Copies of this chain bind each other. A is one copy, B any other.
């Protein structure tokens, strides 16, 4: 539980990837491991609690470097700052609560590297597929059984597509 304990593994890992070893980097790596899905800001706080202080720039630089080296994965949930985690290259996805923003890992539904097989790649060279599941976590469901923002299904027919398509319906119905 001491601050400088047992960095030898991390040091070796960094060296193996030709990355200079600094106290800031070690602290950031430990922070990412110990608190998955944390934002850069949260990680900075964690690091400060351990090594005293760190500049915002060092946090961003290091996280960017680790992401480049595939030692850390960056996930960017809509409406929130980027988050970072330990697990890389295993094609898991994320489940985010619309109400409280909590994030959990979720294994891929389809198989090994599923979503990489797009229907039509438009000439793109696709190297990754990112999947975010949206919903409400157990705690938030308990707190508010039926959210008011949800309109009844009757108000949004499944046939709705383009605005232009819906316009036809509007004409008919009014």
Contacts and interface: CB of A to CB of B under 8 A. Distances in A.
Interface of A: 9-10, 12-13, 15-17, 29, 32-33, 68-72, 74-76, 78-79, 82, 86-90, 93, 95, 97-98, 104, 106-110, 114-138, 141, 149, 151, 155-156, 158, 160-164, 166-167, 170-171, 173-174
Given A33-B163, A89-B161, A129-B132, A138 B123 contact: yes
Contacts of A167: 9-10, 12-13
Given A33-B163, A88-B161, A106-B119, 7 more contacts: A9-B171, A32-B163, A78-B130, A104-B122, A123-B137, A124-B137, A129-B132
A66 to B, nearest CB: 9
A164 B115 CA distance: 27
B104 A109 contact: no
Contact of A115 (B17, B88, B115, B160): B115
